Amino acid sequence: MQTDLQDKVVVITGASTGFGRGIATKLAAEGACIVVGDLRENASPAGFDEEPDLTTSQLIAKRGGKAFYRKCDVTKRGEVKALLDAAVDRFGRLDVMINNAGVYRGGKLLHEFDEADLDVCFDVNVRGTFLGSQEAIKIFLRQGDGGNIINLVSTAGLQGHPKQSVYNISKGAQANLTRCLAIEYGHEGIRVNGICPTYAKTALTRAYADDKDFDKMFVESVPLKRWGEVVDIADLAVFLASDRSSYIHGALIRIDGGETLCRYSV
Kindly state the average pLDDT of the residues 148-173. 96
Is this structure's pTM higher than 0.85?
yes
Contact 136, 97 (CB under 8 A): yes
Q: Which of 69, 104, 167, 199 is catalytic?
A: 167
* Residue 124: per-residue pLDDT: 98
Kindly state the average pLDDT of the residues 93-117. 97
210-257 pLDDT tens trace: 999 999 999 999 999 999 999 999 999 999 999 999 999 999 999 999
Q: Give 264's pLDDT tier (boundaries 50, 70, 90).
A: low
Q: Give 57's pLDDT tier (boundaries 50, 70, 90).
A: very high
Q: Give 263's pLDDT tier (boundaries 50, 70, 90).
A: low
Query: What span, in angstroms and rounded, lies between the C-alpha atoms of 93 and 139?
Result: 8
Query: What span, in angstroms and rounded, lies between the C-alpha atoms of 263 and 30?
Result: 37
Please enumerate in sequence order all residues whose Cβ is within 8 A of that of 101, keeping only pairs 6 or more positions apart, or say none.
Answer: 13, 14, 20, 37, 38, 74, 124, 128
* Residue 207: per-residue pLDDT: 86
Contact 74, 80 (CB under 8 A): yes
Query: What span, in angstroms and rounded, lies between the C-alpha atoms of 42 and 163?
Result: 30
Residue spans of the domains in the chain: they are 9-261
Provide CATH code, domain 9-261: 3.40.50.720
Q: Is it the case that residue 1 has pLDDT exceeding 50?
A: no
Kindly state the average pLDDT of the residues 139-145. 98
* Signed CA dihedral, 200, 202, 205, 211: sign only: positive
167 in catalytic set: yes
Q: Give 146's pLDDT tier (boundaries 50, 70, 90).
A: very high
Strands (E), 198-261: 252-255
If you count them, how many residues does the chain have?
266
Helix (H, G, I), strand (E, B) or coil at 200: strand
